[in-house]
Amino acid sequence: MTLRDLVGAYFTHHAIMAYLILAVGCIAYVVLNPANIWGPALAAALIVPLYPLVWYLLHRYVLHGRWLYRMPQTAALWKRVHFDHHQDPNDLGVLFGALYTTLPTILLVTIPLGWAIAGPSGAAAAVASGLLTTCFYEFCHCIQHLPFQPRWTWLKRMKKLHLAHHFHNEQGNYGITNFAVDRVLGTYYSHPREKPRSPTVFNLGYTDEEASRYPWVAALSDDRQQPGAMRPARNR
């Protein structure tokens, strides 16, 4: 895959277009409602370092938690937002986050902080920053999963660490673009030899036993996704 192919796949996805359109709208609101520029600027700037922590917590404790698939009301949600992605990490159809989950999360994280700093303009600036940060995350996520070989060392390293999360041991390297929180909380590993291969790297713990107790994800899955039909990690 060339860089042109990668960019084309990225910008033609409806989620990315939605983020960009909404970000432009938020920026326009800030520009058309002039106030102290430093408040909105501060709100936007604070979102950038906050996002690695937010993503880590959501990824580790929500997407890799087991409570979503144990409730029939949220089983389909968990299947779409993360189970399917781990079942086939290179499937472009589930590579991007679903808007009905990502947008509420972005708004929940950004609006209170931005509003507390600079009112409505601060909230709009923070939302724009969150949307653009998400765009950057999703672009890096494309690089990590699509057959594109980055030239920059830091991107190669990022891709290696994330693919280890998908193909070796999912209980670590929860970051996407930044693994600082993984280092602080002890879930970082730089090489697969540092962690044993996980038997649940592709099913996230949704085993045959779990499926018998909580059948809702299995009922929505095709034969390739049934817990007992998944290929072992060494064959992926």
DSSP character string of 147-177: S----SHHHHHHHHHHHHHHHT-SSS---SS
Q: Write down the pLDDT at residue 41.
A: 95
pLDDT one digit per residue (tens) for the chain, 236 residues: 888 989 998 998 999 999 999 999 999 999 998 778 899 999 999 999 999 999 999 999 999 999 999 999 999 999 999 999 999 998 888 889 889 999 999 999 999 999 999 999 999 999 999 999 999 999 999 999 999 999 999 999 999 999 999 999 999 999 999 999 999 999 999 999 999 999 999 999 999 999 999 999 999 986 545 554 444 433 33
Angle value at C-alpha 188, between 186 and 191, nearest 5 degrees: 135
- DSSP-assigned states of every residue in 80-146: IIIIHHHHSTT-GGGTSPPHHHHHHHHHHHHHHHHHHHHHHHHHHHHHHHHHHHHHHHHHHHHHHHS
> What was the pLDDT predicted at 36?
82
Q: What is the pLDDT of residue 225?
A: 55
For the segment 84-111, what is each residue's pLDDT rounded down to a tens digit?
A: 999 999 888 888 988 999 999 999 999 9
- CA 40, CA 129: separation in Å to the nearest integer? 10
Query: What pLDDT score does 97 carry?
Result: 86
Backbone angles phi, psi at 200, to 5 degrees: -115, 20
Q: Where are the domains of the chain?
A: 3-235
58-81 pLDDT, tens digit per residue, is: 999 999 999 999 999 999 999 999
Residue in this structure with the two tokens 């390297």, named with its chain if needed: 173
Is pTM beyond 0.95? Reply is: no
- 126 close to 118: Cβ distance less than 8 angstroms: no
Q: How far is CA 184 from CA 53, 156, 159, 187, in A?
A: 11, 22, 20, 8
Q: Tell me, what's the pLDDT at 222?
A: 67
Cα–Cα distance between 152 and 171 in angstroms, integer? 26
CB-CB contact of 150 with 156 (8 Å): yes
